[in-house]
Amino acid sequence: MKKLTLAVALMILGTSAFAQATRLVLFEEFTQASCGPCASQNPAFNTLLQSNTTKAISIKYQTSWPGVDPMNAANPTDVATRVSYYGVNGVPWTSMDGVAATGSAYAGAPANVNQNMIDTRYAVSSPLSVSVYHQLNATYDSIQVVVSVSNPGTSAVTSGSTGSLKLHTVIVEEQINYPTAPGSNGETDFYSVMRKMLPNASGTPLADTWAAGASQSFSFNVALPTYIANLGEVAVVAFVQDNSNKDVKNAAYSAPQAVSGLADAGVSALNASTSGLCDANVTPSVVIENAGSVTLTSATVSYSVNGGTPVSQSWTGNLTTGQTATVTFPQTTLSGGTNSLVATVSSPNGSGDYNGMNNSSAPVNIAVLGSTPQPSPKTEDMEGAAIGSVPSDMILQFNTPTAPRVYVVDKSVAGTSYELGGWGQSAKSLRWDYYAIPAGVVASVTTQKINISTLTAPKLYFQHAYCSYAGEADAFKVFASTDCGVTWTNIFDKSGATLATSGNQTARFYPQASQWVTNQVSLAQFSGATDLVIKFEGTSQYGNSLYFDNIWVSNNALGVDEQASASLVAFPNPANTVANLDLNLNQEASVAIAVYNIAGQQIMNIPAEVMAAGQHVMEVPVAALPNGLYTAQVSIDGAIQTVRISVAH
């Protein structure tokens, strides 16, 4: 497209301002990259808008909720101002010329908008004419915008109230194409995205009265936002709105300009891997590509770990369109936990990049275990984990660019009156929210290394609760490894009906106490291992939620060993000063008690004594213990039984 000079543009605006005020209908949509209903309503809405480019224009405001959205993160302030202006409390929501779109769906739903609605509004003449033109500077790092507002009619135009008439000038990016979905709703293509409002979201005050033939021009010359993804998609929308009733008088549009002479460098791949969960050493290499038509001769290539300071190298070479080059970095040592590596390329040929959307790689997530094995018995009851996270000594891994909905919850998340911990006896549990996780997503949590060499009959215990939505085969597997994840042994595998602890339901599942089960898995094949790693893996089929709690690695836990000849009950539970253990022995036995905290540390020992067959009540003093959950491990002639004790003062 041949650029007009600004002088010519101004002349055109001046002469066209007195033409009949044909209306350009303005749609303002509030949407979000992690909003499921947005993903379902936007395709049809976008198609309708694209077929009405001579009648309507749109501005898309990417909100900060309900989830991740990098477009909002780039400029949250302007979005928040417009959210407040319209009182938007849910997405997607759209207005037509300042009025919520109405129809068969809820007020503001994009699904309400149809061709007849656009045609009807377009046919209504406007009292004001608006024109807009923009021009990027030669180095493509600033933009000049000129807007003209006029009254082409024969009578005066007045505002609804003093100071209520405002001009809004908006830099939009007509199309942003992510290589992978930036949020959780699967959308990769976004249109008419608001990037910056000039001078801000409050707009420019206009005169309250516009006499017949009156006109005024406004000019803005500002730096182009650095977060613009594609310079060739920069457009400008201008509109006049009366704040007294939110009526949009008219709108105008300046289309994207052709951008020439800029190279387009992209990241084709980031290669980074280790030999297993215990290998913290990685040698990153980045494959860059010439994704444009200008020969690529230089660039800056970088990678970062967990959003930290980038490690950069300068690259020089000669790449024509489609050619690639590999930049290898020195070996680096990762820290324990989940490490997210991202590669970027910038400054192609020492200048701006034509398309910034291909400048970064998808994250490469590498999990690294701590070097020191944890002792057994080992427990994790989720109570120490923050809501919305996973326990700090466990590692979350997944096969999607962004983390799926796998995290610790309690009744505050669910809004239930009852607790969501195992058997309703504790506050927290770990949830795989299959209800909102797309089918095919695999997410796992992995323990640190556990030393089970001290256990004579090692077992894994855990509790879960699950129901399907309508018969979907959501799956849950458990794996164990003694070589830091180089190889895995499947030790538990259930899905669908075999995994379910309750009947199907279409509402999100929040388990009652009776809907939990306790699972026992033998670890005998790993006896003697000093570095056992256990991975709990869920695969979504977009069914309903699974809850997981109370991991215990011991000789015996949570239930009664099948070889034991006694029954054990704790009361009261929770206890204040003394917890009583009601033990019924079938025969004479030597009985000892050890009490452990949630970290698996022994905090109390009651020496062994020989007890006759029959009923016994043993007292465990808890007055000095902090509030929380504990495990009493009772040894009966060497056979171990355990019972949970809740302490509440």
Question: What is the arithmetic mean of pLDDT over 169-195?
Answer: 93
How much is the average pLDDT of 610-616?
A: 86
* Paired tokens of 463: 């509790």
**Could you give the CA distance from residue 513 to residue 420 in angstroms, rounded to a whole number?**
8
Six token digits for residue 37: 């209903």
Count of Cβ atoms closer than 10 Å to residue 496 Cβ: 15
- Phi/psi at 168 (nearest 5 deg)? -115, 130
**517-533 per-position pLDDT tens digit:** 888 899 999 999 999 99
pLDDT for the residue numbered 594: 87
Show the tokens assigned to 485.
């994840």
- The Cα-based distances of 3 to 134, 256, 353, 366 in angstroms read 10, 11, 20, 48
- In angstroms, the CA 553 to CA 449 distance is 12
Confidence of residue 342 (pLDDT cuts 50, 70, 90): very high
- For residue 566, the model assigns a pLDDT of 56
Cβ neighbours of residue 241 closer than 8 Å, sequence gap 6 or more: 98, 165, 166, 168, 203, 247, 248, 249
Residue 145 scores a pLDDT above 90: yes
User: Could you give the CA distance from residue 10 to residue 4 in angstroms, rounded to a whole number?
Assistant: 10
For the chain, give percent helix, strand, coil, nearest 5: 10, 45, 45
Q: pTM of the predicted model, to two decimals?
A: 0.64
pLDDT tens digit string along 73-96? 999 999 999 999 999 999 999 999
Residue 630 confidence class, pLDDT cut points 50, 70, 90: confident
Q: Three-state DSSP class for 634? A: strand
Residue 436: which of 121, 156, 35, 91 has the closest Cα? 35
β-strand partners of 101: none
Q: What is the pLDDT of residue 10?
A: 39
**Is the per-residue pLDDT at 365 higher than 80?**
yes
- Higher-pLDDT residue of 600 and 438 is 438
Amino acid at 352: G
Q: d(Cα 70, Cα 183) in Å, to the nearest integer?
A: 8
Confidence of residue 642 (pLDDT cuts 50, 70, 90): confident
Q: What is the pLDDT of residue 5?
A: 39
Instruction: Tell me: pLDDT of 466 over 50.
Output: yes
Separation between Cα atoms, residue 612 and residue 566, nearest integer Å: 12
More confident residue, 261 or 17: 261
Beta-carbon contacts of 138 under 8 Å, excluding residues fewer than 6 positions away, are none
Q: Pairing between strand 533-539 and 475-481?
A: antiparallel
Q: How is residue 628 written in tokens?
A: 């929380």
Mean pLDDT taken over the chain:
90
pLDDT value for 601: 74
Tell how strand 517-522 and strand 566-571 pair up.
unpaired
pLDDT at 3 over 70: no
Mean pLDDT of 325-335: 96
Length of the chain: 649
Alpha-carbon Rg for the chain in angstroms:
32
Average pLDDT of the residues in 619-630: 88
**Strand (E) or helix (H) holding 177:** strand 165-177
- Maximum CA pair distance of the chain? 109
Arithmetic mean of pLDDT, 278-284:
94
Q: What percent of the chain has pLDDT over 70?
A: 94
When pLDDT is cut at 50, 70 and 90, the band that residue 600 belongs to is low
Q: What is the pLDDT of residue 556?
A: 55
Percentage above 90 pLDDT, the chain: 67
pLDDT confidence band for 617 (50 / 70 / 90): confident
Going by pLDDT thresholds of 50, 70 and 90, the confidence category of residue 580 is confident
Residue 325 DSSP one-character state: E
Q: 3-state SS string over 319-357? A: ECCCCEEEEECCCEECCCEEEEEEEEEECHHHCCCCEHH
pLDDT higher than 70, residue 20: no
Distance CA 265, CA 600 (A): 52
Kindly tell me if the per-residue pLDDT of 44 is higher than 60.
yes
Say what the pLDDT of residue 6 is: 41
Tokens of 344: 């970027």
pLDDT in tens, 549-568: 999 898 754 433 333 345 67
What is the side-by-side order of every strand in the sheet holding 215-223? 129-136, 142-150, 215-223
Give dist(CA 440, CA 445) in Å, integer.
Answer: 17
Q: What is the pLDDT of residue 571?
A: 80
> For residue range 222-234, what is the model confidence (pLDDT) as tens digits?
999 989 999 999 9
Q: Please provide the DSSP assignment of 505-556 as one string.
A: -SSPP---GGG-EEEEEE-GGGTT-SSBEEEEEEE--S---EEEEEEEEESS
Distance of CA 400 to the CA centre of its chain: 11
User: What is the C-alpha separation between 227 and 492, in angstroms, rounded?
Assistant: 47
Task: Decide: 582 and 571 in contact? Cβ < 8 Å.
Answer: yes
**Is 70 exceeded by the pLDDT of residue 16?**
no
Whether the per-residue pLDDT at 293 is higher than 60: the answer is yes
Question: For residues 567 and 569, what is the distance between their CA atoms, to the nearest angstrom?
Answer: 7
**How many beta carbons lie within 10 A of that of residue 433, not counting itself?**
21
- Checking if the pLDDT of 9 tops 70, the result is no
Q: Could you tell me the two tokens for 325? A: 């080059």
Q: What pLDDT, on the 0 to 100 scale, is given for residue 275?
A: 85
